[in-house]
Structure 1
């Protein structure tokens, strides 16, 4: 059979369009597995493994299948610059608003081309033209710098100053921004003030007021609470919001003033079948004082609508404890035990000495009631920034610590050595301090609060 005959015959095949569409959407959902936390940004040209597998499989299908795929607008997003599953799903439903707002500076024109506002999630796309410096990232493709601010770069707002996800394909320069509305109350209509401050290697002002209109949503009030073991920290869950292509959990963190630098977030979420629910971000909305307590309103974003898909959500919050560093003078009488001020962890410094132009510290870690489920190499990485040699005059700064390496001496007893580059013993002795912190351990081995189950029945 020649090529023409083959094409005619395969075009006669009846393709089950619904099954093809469902397979694509399932692949997209499975591919949208984000690494834990915060606003997720993927570099241009990157396709997650699930989506890539779907594309490879479909590329070998018949022309009849190709006709079906040509009708799927989500494919352009898979091939495209940023992986925004909320925007992709809304685009399929024709719920993204097309725009044409332009601004020109330094010979570069930037145009906002579309936007959506789903629950609390906002996304927009833009294109640029002019003398733009391009960065070649090899297999990940070409892109360009696009630095922007929202709401005037207000530092009280999460992610108010960010880099957009961009791509260069031939002469097309495109980009994507995805944020969460930074206030607790969600207006039905609003204007998003966004200003690009740098495009390529050109600094300038490309300012826009992007009109956004919220898509329909449904709010379910919930009543549940999580607590720390000592009861001093509380997490109160207020509502779950079902939007068109996303879900949000609104909750409140209550903690005493002396703990107000600790970072509480929802680490894991499970549906009523025990399956983990993927998260997009867990953001800070506002913080205020009430007596001797700090109250923080937060919102967690799930990049899919869970309406009618689960009857409950079980949430597991954690506290990533933050504490001030402590200092030890080199060559003081040893051993010295430095104890965490907020946990029962400790670091016992056994030896400090200079040999062959290097300063070495030998120490043992006591995790207290923490469980290291990740292994010794994980602990080695976590401790590296907890033990630093710093100059006395800048002892509270993380800038320019002395370079060092960590070696495991005894994995069962958790004994390590940190070796710092130093050429003169008197310099180490007189101008430097050993700074001991527990924040690396606290962040990677956080304190677990009691879980809570949120009922989604009205």
Structure 2
């Protein structure tokens, strides 16, 4: 596994493709416009800057020379699922379980045809083709929307890359079925909102038929009394080419931004990748916040037992300290052993210098680079009246005082009165990256 330092070095070397950046901006702009039109905001736990970085990294991986060369060597006809790295579609295709479609929508001289679709347990996939574009590029992008942009569905609008195949482009969509019930036969509304640079509204009502699946009732729970939360594994859905773990998590009603994450392995300890994790229902009932979720493994599992290691990523609000506060002063998380203790602060000629220690020197298994980055980006001086607005940190320098003790010194340049500034400590960054581990669970698959 790549370590944090290697991630940072790789990140610095990334050249961001400009057309991909434009598409990222386009989907962000579209979502912002949709939010303005809707009165109810989408319920979603997201770190905005991290999401944008993830989008850019994803696009970069699609557009890298190595990837493009590999794609160019794969003839798309008969190999669409392999070309788009869809293991579920590839397995179902080999079993003859993919449904062929011939539905077309045309606008502005551009035709989109839905070619194939599958619905396996809780996962939906589709292949489509586009004709009539003026592009000669090897890849172009489209922005699509499912279920009419339903505010209760996470990521209801997405960008998809299409690969040139002769005179047409081939695209691929895969998403978890977002409703609580899994109907035998249904349709999902799908609309393409742009193809390349051309905006439009190519609409489909795509028919899907559920493939036979098996449901294993589980009824196992793990509880953390300190957090006052419980995780209950409800069932395991075994499709023809996928496996889904259904769970219910309950939290105190004031902790609505906590979320569960599952790691999986087989009975011998071999890791099993959980590729998709999403909530299908969220809300308050009987004074508790309840989340019903699904974790999806993109393969069918047949082992006797599945070992689950649950984690909880806790939400932690920002905390603040005045530049004139009596020192030393310790800022601590109420639910985890994370802290920042500021023991020295000086203001002189427009510069603020303060010394501090993170977690009393405890690393919790993370390397020093992680904490150096945390010190630089999450313990910052901000304008008091804009303390809740996140942007690039003010000009500053972060020095290491004692690496083994996680002691640092930060120096900031400020303009105006020191009363206009405040230190913001984002312990939530630690909570998000160092989740709380719950007891391991052994889940039967038969």
TM-score by length of 1: 0.76
Report the 3-state secondary structure (helix = DSSP H, G, I; strand = E; otherwise coil) of the residue aligned with 2:385: helix
Q: 1:21 corresponds to which residue?
A: none
- The 5-angstrom pairing of residues 13-412 of structure 1 reads 43-44=61-62, 77-78=81-82, 80=83, 82-131=84-133, 142-168=138-164, 171-228=167-224, 230=226, 232-266=228-262, 268-307=263-302, 310-353=303-346, 359-366=352-359, 372-399=364-391, 401-402=393-394, 406-412=398-404
Contact 1:108 1:132 in 2 (8 A): no
C-alpha deviation, 1:296, in angstroms = 0.7
Report the 3-state secondary structure (helix = DSSP H, G, I; strand = E; otherwise coil) of the residue aligned with 1:87: helix
CA–CA distance in 2 between the matches of 1:438 and 1:328? 13
- Cα deviation code 1:176-210 (max 9, x no counterpart): 11100011210011111111222212222112111
Report the 3-state secondary structure (helix = DSSP H, G, I; strand = E; otherwise coil) of the residue aligned with 1:196: strand
Q: 1:194 to 1:385 in 2, by over 3 A?
A: farther
Gapped runs of 5+ residues in structure 2? 1-53
Report the 3-state secondary structure (helix = DSSP H, G, I; strand = E; otherwise coil) of the residue aligned with 2:271: coil
- Cα deviation code 1:8-43 (max 9, x no counterpart): xxxxxxxxxxxxxxxxxxxxxxxxxxxxxx999775
Report the 3-state secondary structure (helix = DSSP H, G, I; strand = E; otherwise coil) of the residue aligned with 1:145: strand
Q: 1:413 to 1:75 in 2, by over 3 A?
A: same
Contact 1:389 1:434 in 2 (8 A): yes
C-alpha deviation, 1:379, in angstroms = 2.5
CA–CA distance in 2 between the matches of 1:353 and 1:168? 61
Q: 1:426 corresponds to which residue?
A: 416
Report the 3-state secondary structure (helix = DSSP H, G, I; strand = E; otherwise coil) of the residue aligned with 1:144: strand
C-alpha deviation, 1:406, in angstroms = 4.4
Contact 1:134 1:200 in 2 (8 A): no
- Cα deviation code 1:104-137 (max 9, x no counterpart): 23333222221110101001112223345677xx
Contact 2:316 2:431 in 1 (8 A): no
CA–CA distance in 2 between the matches of 1:74 and 1:133? 24
Q: 1:353 to 1:153 in 2, by over 3 A?
A: farther
Q: 1:208 to 1:76 in 2, by over 3 A?
A: closer
Q: 2:440 corresponds to which residue?
A: 451
Report the 3-state secondary structure (helix = DSSP H, G, I; strand = E; otherwise coil) of the residue aligned with 1:258: coil
CA–CA distance in 2 between the matches of 1:177 and 1:367? 47
* Greater Cα radius of gyration, structure 1 or 2: 1
Contact 1:44 1:143 in 2 (8 A): no
CA–CA distance in 2 between the matches of 1:432 and 1:345? 24
Report the 3-state secondary structure (helix = DSSP H, G, I; strand = E; otherwise coil) of the residue aligned with 2:334: coil
CA–CA distance in 1 between the matches of 2:222 and 2:243? 20
CA–CA distance in 2 between the matches of 1:170 and 1:407? 56
Contact 1:73 1:92 in 2 (8 A): no
Contact 1:166 1:176 in 2 (8 A): yes
Contact 2:360 2:406 in 1 (8 A): no
CA–CA distance in 1 between the matches of 2:65 and 2:80? 12
Across the two proteins, how many residue pairs are aligned to each other?
Answer: 389
Contact 1:240 1:250 in 2 (8 A): yes
Q: 2:424 corresponds to which residue?
A: 435
Report the 3-state secondary structure (helix = DSSP H, G, I; strand = E; otherwise coil) of the residue aligned with 1:164: strand
Q: 1:73 to 1:113 in 2, by over 3 A?
A: closer
Of the structure 1 ranges 251-260 and 329-338, higher mean CA displacement relative to structure 2 is found in 329-338
Contact 1:189 1:213 in 2 (8 A): yes
Contact 1:111 1:128 in 2 (8 A): yes
- CA-atom RMSD in angstroms: 3.2
CA–CA distance in 1 between the matches of 2:135 and 2:421? 43
C-alpha deviation, 1:236, in angstroms = 0.4
Q: 1:131 to 1:233 in 2, by over 3 A?
A: same
CA–CA distance in 2 between the matches of 1:134 and 1:431? 55
C-alpha deviation, 1:144, in angstroms = 2.0
CA–CA distance in 2 between the matches of 1:162 and 1:207? 15
C-alpha deviation, 1:250, in angstroms = 0.5
C-alpha deviation, 1:143, in angstroms = 2.5
